[in-house]
Amino acid sequence: MFKHILKRLSLLIPTIFGVVTLVFFMIALAPGDPARVMLGERANAEQIEQLRAELGLDKPLIQQYGLYLSRIVRLDLGKSITSGQKIASEIKERFPATIELAIWAMLFATVLGVLLGVTSAIRRNTWVDYTTMGGALVGVSMPVFWLGLVLIMIFSVWLDLLPTGGRMNIRYFFEPITNFYVIDGIIMWFKEGTPKFLVSALRHLILPTIALGTIPLAIIARTTRSSMLEVLQQDYIKTARSAGIKERRVIYRYALRNALLPVITVIGLQFGLLLSGAILTETVFSWPGIGKWIYVAIGARDYPAVQGGIIFISIFFVLINLVVDILYSVVNPKIRLQ
């Protein structure tokens, strides 16, 4: 088990190297001169040359790449052109918001998706199954930003039940501690004796969670259903039934544990994709996370910020995949022992 994890960890290095290289060339080879774009149309040749020198863009590409790699190794992502802040610290500041939203969205998608998938499978070819799977098809086809806007229109504008965006009621005097607002809300409840921060944080989370979680929810439900149907045909399910194990237990322990193997892979992949989905969701809901930050950076032609943001998200994606792999071997004893 330990060896397995070590092996997977050592495979991370070439993967990350590949990611970093890809991101560099993607941006370096994109059309347009960053310096010219940044300075705008009225800048003169001299100013442009100066900025190019500052950014190191006057050097040959291969040398730029070398410099860039040496900075990455020292975990230095550079400075944002627009704010002048270190990119690493900008990411650090915004990342909890993104992760908090992603975790809630994933929890929402996983719990509901697995439940719906299992229900569909055991009620196969009934109206329950048709409704769920039809809904899943609609869910997977819906663009995130559009769904976000529709949710805002219904629940915020028409029904006036939930906030349109942000993470916390702006009238509250609120000093973030961990930057995970739900946790902060709980801490504040203990400190100040009022749950209002927690309630506000949760209320702000509801719509973005649904918007971001709908696609993974649909995919997880469909995967669970088909996997479950396959497992329920297996001999060992018949064995369990023939031994008098209660039907509920047969389904939720004997069958589901096996059916979850492919679902875990999907959950991992979806969690990674969620981070890119976050760019749209965060923008729609003015959620101050990495996604919105990258979106703004793209608009402002802040190349180092875009580069840093993409690298960060990519590495995070790779790490999630590692976690999924390890989780997979915990659930599946066959992998564990190889």
Partner 1 sequence: MNQHEKETLLSIEDLNFSFTTQRGIVRAVRDLSINIKKGETLTLVGESGCGKSVTAHAINQLNPMPPGHVDSGKIVFNGTDLLTLKKSEIEALRGTQISMIFQEPMTALNPVFTVGSQIADVFLTHQDMTKQEAMEKAVELFRLVKIPAPERRVHSYPHQLSGGMRQRAMIAMALASPNPGLMIADEPTTALDVTIQAQILDLLQDLKQHIEMSILLITHDMGVVAEMADRVVVMYAGRKVEEADADSIFHNPHHPYTLGLLNSLPSNKKYKGARRLEAIDGTVPDLLTIGEGCPFANRCVYQTGECSRSFPKETIISESHSVWCHNYQAVKTENRQ
Give the residues lining the site for partner 1 (CB under 8 A): 234-236, 238-247, 249, 254, 257-258, 331-334, 337
For the beta carbon of residue 6, count every other beta carbon within 10 angstroms: 10
Residue 191 or 246: the one with the smaller Cβ distance to partner 1 is: 246
Smaller CB distance to partner 1: residue 207 or 256? 256
State the amino acid at position 183 in one-letter form: I
Residues in contact with 327: Cβ distance below 8 Å, sequence separation at least 6, in sequence order = 264, 268
Query: Closest separation between CB of residue 252 and partner 1, Å?
Result: 13
**In the complex, what is the shortest distance from the CB of residue 123 to partner 1, in angstroms, rounded to a whole number?**
13
Q: Looking at this protein, which amino acid is placed at residue 63?
A: Q
Closest CB to partner 1 among 60 and 244? 244
Measured CA distances, 40 to 219, 252, 268 (Å) = 44, 61, 42
- In the chain, the amino acid numbered 4 is H
Least separation in angstroms between CB 260 and partner 1 = 9
Q: Name the residue nearer to partner 1 (CB basis): 254 or 312.
A: 254
Nearer to partner 1, 192 or 247 (CB): 247
Helices of type H across the chain: 2-28, 34-39, 45-55, 61-73, 87-122, 127-141, 144-151, 181-192, 196-232, 235-242, 247-249, 256-284, 290-299, 303-331, 333-336
**Closer CB to partner 1, residue 145 or residue 328?**
328
Measured between alpha carbons, how far is 254 from 226 in angstroms, rounded to an integer? 16
User: Smallest distance, Å, CB 235 to partner 1?
Assistant: 4
Q: Please, where are the H alpha helices in 123-255?
A: 127-141, 144-151, 181-192, 196-232, 235-242, 247-249
* Minimum separation from the CB atom of position 297 to partner 1 (A): 45
Q: How far is CA 297 from CA 55, 260, 313, in A?
A: 17, 39, 15
